[in-house]
Amino acid sequence: MNKYFRCVLICILSLIVLFSSFKVIEHLVIGNREKKTIEEVFEQVVSQEPAPDVPQDGVEDKDEVAVVVKKPLSDVNIKKLFKLNSDSIGWLSIPNTRINYPVMHTPYDNEKYLHKDFYKKSSRSGVPFLDGWQTLESDNIFIYGHNMKNGTMFWSLKKFKNASFLRKNKKIYFKTIEGISEYHVYAVIETSDKSEWYNYYGEITEETFKKMMKYIDKNARVKSDAKVNFGDKLLTLSTCGSSEDERLLVIAVKKG
């Protein structure tokens, strides 16, 4: 290889390294900015009074998270949240995970917050959102969120694939204008984006409920000891899996 081609090759490799480094830095900068946006919303709607002691089994390293949930959502001011953005419908919180976010709902534009932040600016992380075809009265509520590599949004859902973690951390809290609803995780399923489970929404008949339970029995990677009966309200949290068409579903049943 003569000197000219060697110089050209070195220049090309250097450009590749520089471009890759730039993309990594850009990803980190954008990720940190989007974390701060959520923290800003959190600070505006949540009381900063000291939280009571709670069991910390399974909690993640506090130094690695934006917000570690310490207690249920009694300190979240939903009316203030609505004033900040009228597209919001509630706040979702899972103790001992990084999931502590507002939930959006835009029936007129279902995926509006797939790539927009809480303030409607372009965002890779987006904001968790309630399926636009549904209402809070639906028998099986779907909430979607990105599986972000920086650990935000619904990244923590993968923790529920571990039976030990699920056993200690099965509670999910969802606060709306109607109050705080507590759900217990029932099953965790790895499936595709074409899964029949996505058809189970709205009003669930007894026949459909039986199909849903059979689907869970056949496909569940992990199940808890939670009990589910016909007429119970369900919550499905959905995020991307390890491939583009793979989905991770965390299915929970409403208690009380």
Distance separating alpha carbons of residues 80 and 180, to the nearest angstrom: 16
pLDDT for the residue 124: 86
Return phi, psi of residue 126, to 5°.
65, -160
Euclidean distance between CA atoms 152 and 34, whole angstroms = 9
Domains of the chain by start residue, with CATH: 62-255 (2.40.260.10)
CB-based contact 246:190 (threshold 8 Å): yes
pLDDT, one tens digit for every residue, the chain (256 residues)? 566 656 655 566 555 554 444 344 444 444 566 667 788 887 888 865 544 444 444 445 444 444 554 457 888 899 999 999 999 999 999 999 999 999 999 999 999 999 999 999 998 899 999 999 899 999 999 999 999 888 889 999 999 999 999 999 999 999 999 999 999 999 999 999 899 999 998 889 999 999 999 999 999 999 999 999 999 999 999 999 877 789 999 999 999 7
The CB density around residue 137, as the number of other CB atoms within 10 Å, is 10
pLDDT at 3: 63
Name the phi and psi angles at 85, rounded to 5: -160, 115
Amino acid letter for position 61:
D
Q: Is 115 helix (H, G, I), strand (E, B) or coil?
A: coil
| Beta-bridge mates of residue 236 | 142, 251
